[in-house]
Structure 1
Amino acid sequence: MSDQALLRATGVRKSFGSIEVLKGIDLTVRQGQVVSLIGASGSGKTTFLRCVNLLEEHDSGEILLDGDPIGYRVEGGKRRRLSEARVSAQRARIGMVFQQFNLFPHLTAEENVMLGLTKVLGRTRAEARDIAGQWLARVGLEARREHYPYQLSGGQQQRVAIARAVAMEPRLLLFDEVTSALDPELVAEVLGVMQQLAESGMTMLVVSHEMLFVRDVSHHVVFMDGGRVAQAGTPDQVFHHPESERLRSFLGRFHGMFGNAL
C-alpha cells in the first residue's frame, strides 16, 4: 500500500431536488488501499460511489483521481463540465460492480468480459479473448466461459461482472452492495473473489453490509450517517471503539459479532 492518494474527495455535496443527500463528504483512498463505506440505507453511500464514477453529478466540492478533477474543472471560480471524451476517459479508469449483475443476456460470459476491452480499450478480439479467459479463470469460471447469463447462478453472474470490471485494468474499483441480490449460500464465493483482489493490491472502495468481510479486508472504514462522515478509522477503531450512540446502534444490528465492546 502506498502513501499516495489515488482518490481524494473534498466537500462533496449532492442534492436531489430539495433533499440534500451528501452534505460535504471528505474522503481519501490511497493506492492499494481497501476503504469500506458502512451505514444505514439512505445514508448516502451509493450516491457517493455514483458521483465518483460520474453516474451522478455532484453539486459542489471536488473529487480527484490521481490528482485529476473528475467530471469538472474550475475556471474563473466556476465549475465547468469536462467534454464527453474526457469524461469517458476518466470513467475508463474507474471500474464499478453493481448490486445487479448488468450482464448482456445475449452474450456469453467471455463475450461480456471482452466487450469493454474491444469497444473502449481498442483491443483486438484475439487479445480481448485471451484477457477475458485469464480473468474468468481467476474468478473460477474458466469452464463457464461459453455459458450465457441465464445458464449461470447469481454468484457466477456476479463473478463474471467482477471479471469484466477488473479486465479493464481500472485504477480504482468500486463495489456497491454486490452481494445484496444473492442467496446467502452464494455470498461467500463472491466475497472470496473480492478478498483475493484486495490481497493482490487492487485499490477498492466498497459499500457493504457484510460486516465481518469489511472488518477483515478493509484498511480504513467510513461510517456514514445522514449524508455525512460520522466516524472513520481502522476497522478496530470503528467496530470496537464507536464514538457515537448512532454507530453503536448500527453495529448492534449485527448480533454482537464484534464482541462486548458494543
Structure 2
Amino acid sequence: MSDQPLLQARGVRKSFGKTEVLKGIDLEVRQGQVVSLIGASGSGKTTFLRCVNLLEEHDGGEILLDGDPVGYRMEGGRRRRLSEARVSAQRARIGMVFQQFNLFPHLTAEENVMLGLTKVLGKGRAEAREIASGWLARVGLAERRAHYPYQLSGGQQQRVAMARAVAMEPRLLLFDEVTSALDPELVAEVLGVMQDLAASGQTMLVVSHEMLFVREVSHHVVFMDQGRVAQEGTPAEVFENPASERLRSFLGRFHGLLGGRAE
C-alpha cells in the first residue's frame, strides 16, 4: 500500500440552496485501501461520493486524484471549471456502483459490461467481450452473461453493475449503499464480491450500513455527522472507542459490534 494518497479531499463544501450538506470534508484514500464512510442518513456521505465522481459540483475546497485537481483548477485565486474533455477523462478513472443497478434493459449482462469498454475506452468488440466475460465469471455470473436484466435477480444485477465498473480498470471504485435495494438473502453474495475486490488490492471508497462488512474489510473508517468528519481511524478505534455520544448512539443500532458497549 502506497503512502501517497490516491484521493485527497481538502475542505470540501457543498450546499443545496441554503442548506450546507458538506461543511469542510478532509479525507484521504491511499492506493490499495478500503475506506468506509458510515453515519446516519443525511450526514453527507452520498453527496461526498457524488462530488468525488463529478456527479455533483462541490462549492468549495479541493478534491485531488493522483494529485490532479478533480473538476476544477485554481487560476488567479479563483476556481475554473476544467474542460468537458478533461472532466470526462477524470470520470473514466473513477468507477461508481450505485444503490440502483442502472443496467440497460435492452442489453444482456455481457453487453452492459462491454458498453463502457467500447464507447469510453475505445476497445474493439472482441477484446471488450473477452474482458466482460472474464469479469462476469469473476463475479460468479459466467452462465448468465447472455441474460437480460429482467432475467436476473437483484443480487445478480448488482454484480453485473460491479463487473461493469471494475472492468473499466478505475483507479478508484466508489460504492454507494450497494446492498440497500436488495432482499436480505441477496446481500451476502454482493458483499462477497466486494470482499474479493478488496482482497485483490482494489482501492475502494464505500458508503455502507453493513457494519460487520465495514469492520472486517476496511483499512480506515470515517464517521460523518451533519456534514462533517466527526471521527475517523482504524475499524478497532472507531468501533471500540467511539469518542462521542453521536457515534455511540449510531453504533448502538448494530448490536454486538462494540464488544458490549452498545448495550
| 1:64 positional shift | 0.1
For residues 20-59 of structure 1, what are the structure 2 equivalents within 5 Å? Answer: 20-59=20-59
The yes-or-no answer on 1:13 pairing with 2:16 is: no
| 1:257 positional shift | 3.1
State the SS of the aligned residue for 2:212. Answer: helix
Unaligned ranges ≥5, structure 2: none
Q: Assess if the C-alpha contact under 8 Å between 1:241 and 1:261 holds in 2.
A: no
How big is each residue's C-alpha offset from its partner over 1:205-261, in whole Å with a ceiling of 9 and x where there is no partner? 000000000000000000000000000000000000000000000000112333223
| Residues in 2 aligned to 1:256 and 1:158: alpha-carbon distance in whole angstroms | 28
Q: What residue identity is the alignment partner of 1:191?
A: L
Match of 1:255 in 2: 255
How big is each residue's C-alpha offset from its partner over 1:54-112, in whole Å with a ceiling of 9 and x where there is no partner? 00000000000000000000000000000000000000000000000000000000000
| Residues in 1 aligned to 2:138 and 2:2: alpha-carbon distance in whole angstroms | 25
| Residues in 1 aligned to 2:171 and 2:29: alpha-carbon distance in whole angstroms | 11
| Residues in 2 aligned to 1:170 and 1:21: alpha-carbon distance in whole angstroms | 27
The yes-or-no answer on 1:224 pairing with 2:201 is: no
State the SS of the aligned residue for 1:261. Answer: coil
Q: Assess if the C-alpha contact under 8 Å between 2:239 and 2:257 holds in 1.
A: no
The yes-or-no answer on 1:149 pairing with 2:149 is: yes
For residues 72-151 of structure 1, what are the structure 2 equivalents within 5 Å? Answer: 72-151=72-151
State the SS of the aligned residue for 2:257. Answer: coil
The percentage of aligned residue pairs carrying the same residue is 87
| 1:2 positional shift | 1.5
Q: Assess if the C-alpha contact under 8 Å between 1:108 and 1:146 holds in 2.
A: yes
| Residues in 2 aligned to 1:129 and 1:257: alpha-carbon distance in whole angstroms | 43
The yes-or-no answer on 1:188 pairing with 2:188 is: yes
State the SS of the aligned residue for 2:62. Answer: strand
Q: Assess if the C-alpha contact under 8 Å between 1:34 and 1:220 holds in 2.
A: yes
| Residues in 2 aligned to 1:42 and 1:111: alpha-carbon distance in whole angstroms | 35
Q: Assess if the C-alpha contact under 8 Å between 1:9 and 1:25 holds in 2.
A: yes
State the SS of the aligned residue for 2:229. Answer: strand
State the SS of the aligned residue for 1:214. Answer: helix
| Residues in 1 aligned to 2:44 and 2:61: alpha-carbon distance in whole angstroms | 15
Q: How many residues align?
A: 262
Q: Assess if the C-alpha contact under 8 Å between 2:71 and 2:81 holds in 1.
A: yes
For residues 189-208 of structure 1, what are the structure 2 equivalents within 5 Å? Answer: 189-208=189-208
State the SS of the aligned residue for 2:13. Answer: strand
| Residues in 2 aligned to 1:92 and 1:255: alpha-carbon distance in whole angstroms | 39
Q: What do you get for the CA RMSD once the two structures are aligned?
A: 0.5
Q: What residue identity is the alignment partner of 1:177?
A: E
Match of 1:209 in 2: 209
